[in-house]
Amino acid sequence: MNKSFKALGMQEISDFDGTRDAPSPIERLEKVRTAASQFRTQLMQQEDVIYYQSVNLVRAPYPTWYGYTGVFAQKSLTFPFLHLLNRLFVIQYKDFNNQLRVLLFSPTDVVNNRKTPFFERLADSFPDIAFNIFAPQYTSIEDTLQQLKIKPEQVDYISYDHLHTQELRKWLGTADQPAYFPNAKLLVHEKEWNCVQGLLPVQSDWYCPNGANGIDPNKVITFKKSLALGSGLALVHTPGHTEGNHSLVAKADNQIFVTSENGISLDAYEPRSSKIKAIRDYAEKTGVEVILNGNTQEGSNDQYISMVMEKTIAGPLKSNPNFPSCACSSETTPYWLFPGLKQTELLGALQFGQLAV
Ligand SMILES: [Zn+2]
């Protein structure tokens, strides 16, 4: 399954080796924070990726209880649901062998992902509202690439921070189904890939049934640590939300954007700067630096450390330095059907650079 990373134009990252081995969690946190800060310094000296774009794809309601874990445990919930906006990230870069590459991060097969058990039950609980009203889709992967004039065969890699809700078979194909991206390979952390081979019930509620079944193993590249893909681009193991969670780290516009679903808004990454009183109060009273997205709690201490790691690598957002440049893969956003918590700062869809042809 794994070829040599060097031959693939990639480099394994050793910067975080041993940082989570200390006996006490606070020591692990500080070791990860120090390593993340050094990693950021090195990354800021690298070239930007050639092209970086995040695209609004689809919205979905999501329990507030999960999105801001702990915040509302001692409060009555006025707004039980918030609205997440799921994004696709299109990245063009040069790998370490100087090859031009296209990476799609979080390419969601919107229609087939709806078979994820949690969301199937949620849809059933909104019987009077059409699906496309409570979970509107803005565009598709196919339409986005057509607009950008990227042909399916030009996509080299697809990757996801983790495989919750993902149906991969349309993109990568099976023995019975041709791949929409005939040359694409999946980049996935080894632990995430191992998990989908045998999920516990608490996990499988969030995974699209059989979404990874029957995919040619030669189309799957697993990694054990973290992986640099080219100048200004890396996949960094950020366990917690799932065991094999990883974050997209990309340098664009001379800043670093870090993407995962560990947190669902900038308020979650910098709760003490939040204008949402409940979030700010909770952070001030407990001392937490981040608020976990906790629909699955595979490792909450690790998730906490990973979120601090993410925001340390990201550094301050140019447009509002009170928040880190964490470009959540699912960002909570305002929507008329689900009024409620108004996020302090919305990152929105981003676009930097020019596609090279
Ligand atoms: Zn998830």
pLDDT tens per residue, range 47-70: 999 999 999 999 888 889 899 999
Residue with tokens 């092209």: 51
Q: What is the tens place of the pLDDT at every residue in 171-183?
A: 999 999 999 999 9
Planar angle of CA 95, 96, 97, nearest 5 degrees: 90
Whether 145 maps to a domain, the answer reads yes
- Distance, CA of 336 to chain centre: 25
Centre of ligand 1 to C-alpha 242, Å, is 7
Ligand 1 being an ion, which residues bring their Cβ within 5 A of it?
164, 261
Centre of ligand 1 to C-alpha 201, Å, is 15
Residue 88 has φ and ψ, to the nearest 5°, of: -100, 145
Centre of ligand 1 to C-alpha 4, Å, is 29
Q: Is the pLDDT of residue 194 over 50?
A: yes
**Beta-bridge mates of residue 176:** none
Whether 1 maps to a domain, the answer reads no
Whether 4 maps to a domain, the answer reads no
Whether 165 maps to a domain, the answer reads yes
Whether 151 maps to a domain, the answer reads yes
Centre of ligand 1 to C-alpha 157, Å, is 20
Burial environment of residue 138 by CB neighbours within 10 A (0 to 12, 13 to 18, 19 or more) = middle
Q: Which of 103-117, 142-156, 287-301, 332-346 has the lowest mean pLDDT?
A: 332-346
- Please report the pLDDT score of residue 20 as a whole number: 98
267 Rama sector, left if φ>0, alpha if ψ -120 to 50, beta otherwise: alpha
Give the pLDDT band of residue 230 (cuts 50, 70, 90).
very high
Whether 157 maps to a domain, the answer reads yes
Q: Which of 115-119, 171-175, 254-258, 339-343 has the lowest mean pLDDT?
A: 339-343
Q: What's the whole-number mean pLDDT along residues 290-296? A: 94
Q: Is the dihedral of CA 219, 261, 237, 141 positive or negative?
A: positive
> Which of the 8 DSSP states describes residue 135?
S
- Residue 186 maps to which CATH number? 3.60.15.10
Whether 6 maps to a domain, the answer reads no
Centre of ligand 1 to C-alpha 111, Å, is 18
Centre of ligand 1 to C-alpha 203, Å, is 10
Instruction: Please tell me which residue, 58 or 123, carries the higher pLDDT value.
Output: 58
Number of structural domains found in the chain:
1
Q: What's the whole-number mean pLDDT along residues 224-238? A: 97
Q: Which of 23-27, 102-106, 192-196, 201-205 has the lowest mean pLDDT?
A: 201-205
Q: What's the whole-number mean pLDDT along residues 193-210? A: 93
Are 302 and 235 a contacting pair, CB within 8 Å?
no
Q: For residue 247, what are the contacts with CB-CB under 8 A and spacing of at least 6? A: 161, 235, 236, 238, 258, 259, 260, 262, 306, 310
Residue percentage of the chain with pLDDT more than 90: 79
Whether 5 maps to a domain, the answer reads no
- Helix segments in the chain, DSSP class H: 25-44, 64-67, 110-113, 117-124, 131-134, 141-148, 169-172, 190-196, 201-204, 266-269, 277-286, 300-314
Q: Is the pLDDT of residue 16 over 80?
A: yes
Q: Give the C-alpha separation, 214 to 177, whole Å.
A: 10
- Please report the pLDDT score of residue 338 as a whole number: 64
Q: What per-residue string of b and e applies to 290-300 under the rule 16 or more CB within 10 Å gives b?
A: bbbbbbbebbe
Centre of ligand 1 to C-alpha 230, Å, is 26
Domain range for residue 143? 11-353
Planar angle of CA 246, 270, 79, nearest 5 degrees: 95
Instruction: Please tell me which residue, 120 or 200, carries the higher pLDDT value.
Output: 200
Q: Is the pLDDT of residue 188 over 80?
A: yes
Centre of ligand 1 to C-alpha 97, Å, is 33
Q: Whole-prediction pTM value?
A: 0.95
- Please report the pLDDT score of residue 1 as a whole number: 46
Amino acid 111 reads V
Centre of ligand 1 to C-alpha 166, Å, is 10
Centre of ligand 1 to C-alpha 192, Å, is 12
Q: Give the C-alpha separation, 149 to 300, whole Å.
A: 41
